[in-house]
Amino acid sequence: MIETVFRSEDVPAADRFECWRELVQRASSPVELDSEYRDDFRVSQRLLEFGGVTVWPCRFQPVRFLRTPKLVRQSDPERVNVSLPTLGTLNVTRDDREAVYDPFSFCVIDSSRTVDVRAGGPHEGIGFDVPRALLPLPADAVSQLSGYRLSAREGIGALLADFLVRLSTDTGSFRRSDGPRLAVVAVDLASALFASAPCGKWGPDRDGRAWEKTVKTSANQRTGSSTGCASNGMAYPSHTLDYHCYTWGNDGKSWTFVTNVTVDKTTGWIRDDLLKDGGSNKYCGF
């Protein structure tokens, strides 16, 4: 593991903003930075590099990160950034759609797409960057995930957050030779988190079993494998469901994609512990 420490007080005021920009680009992707405090910018950042991934805990004043179409064309390192704010919010605009990420919600950024990120201050958080090639996911899955908030307070998201916080606060207890193993853990946790179905994703019909009335009590049919996704309707014990397949939610639980044959063939994801038989036994593949 290679560690680089940057403290603004160690650099002349006139140079510190540009020096920090270079460090951000080394950790993640080429971006434009701007801040009303740039003439005397205050920032503290550590850059941990190991096994091809980077983790960068930081604290800084309000700043804007902008990845423009020109920067995407000029240089795309094909990396995925996972940002975990721990103090303050991130206001993110992608394709004219805005989203706000509160503390302990993951913001996923794809280096192949333009993005405008505004961090209020003082801001604290942890950035985690991984080459897209290390993630066992199709490119379009990463693109879809970049539009959603993923919880860092429960399930697999909480495990990844705990790992990043521990790595950032207890770095001295790890040896340089631990780097490749730590990278495997980080990538595996991120892959498991990303494997959940984002809101709006359908499950392929891979389960050929007969249709049954299987809901224990009433259950929402959600647009993705998360309670944060909207409901397409309700399933009740009297309803007949056609199972398609299952995947894992970011709460660490399995979810089944169903068609509600009783109610106009509405579709949605239902968590498997709400189904009498535990849901589908056919994996969706994501």
Give 177's contacts (C-beta < 8 A, 6+ positions apart). Answer: none
Q: What is the pLDDT of residues 111-142, one digit of tens each?
A: 888 999 999 878 999 999 999 889 876 666 66
pLDDT at res. 54: 92
Please state, in angstroms and rounded to a whole number, the distance separating the CA atoms of residues 203 and 259. Answer: 10
CA distances from 245 to 31, 202, 203, 259, 285 (A): 40, 10, 6, 11, 9
Give 245's contacts (C-beta < 8 A, 6+ positions apart). Answer: 203, 204, 205, 206, 207, 256, 257, 280, 282, 283, 284, 285
Distance of CA 36 to the CA centre of its chain: 28
In this structure, is the dihedral angle defined by the CA atoms of residues 241, 245, 249 and 252, taken in order, positive or negative? positive
Please state, in angstroms and rounded to a whole number, the distance separating the CA atoms of residues 95 and 88. Answer: 23
Q: What is the pLDDT of residues 183-214, one digit of tens each?
A: 999 999 988 887 766 777 888 888 888 788 88
Q: What is the pLDDT of residues 6-40, one digit of tens each?
A: 898 898 988 888 888 888 888 788 888 999 998 88
- Give percent above pLDDT 70 in the chain: 93
Q: Which comes out higher in pLDDT, residue 137 or 94?
A: 94
pLDDT at res. 144: 62
Residue 148 confidence (pLDDT) above 70: no
Q: Which comes out higher in pLDDT, residue 96 or 255?
A: 255
Q: What is the CATH code for 2-194?
A: 2.60.120.10
What radius of gyration do the chain's Cα atoms show? 21
DSSP 8-state assignment for residue 253: -
Q: What is the pLDDT of residues 55-91, one digit of tens each?
A: 999 999 999 999 999 999 988 888 999 999 999 999 9
Task: Give me the phi and psi of 77, to 5 degrees please.
Answer: -75, 0
Domain residue extents for the chain: 2-194, 198-286
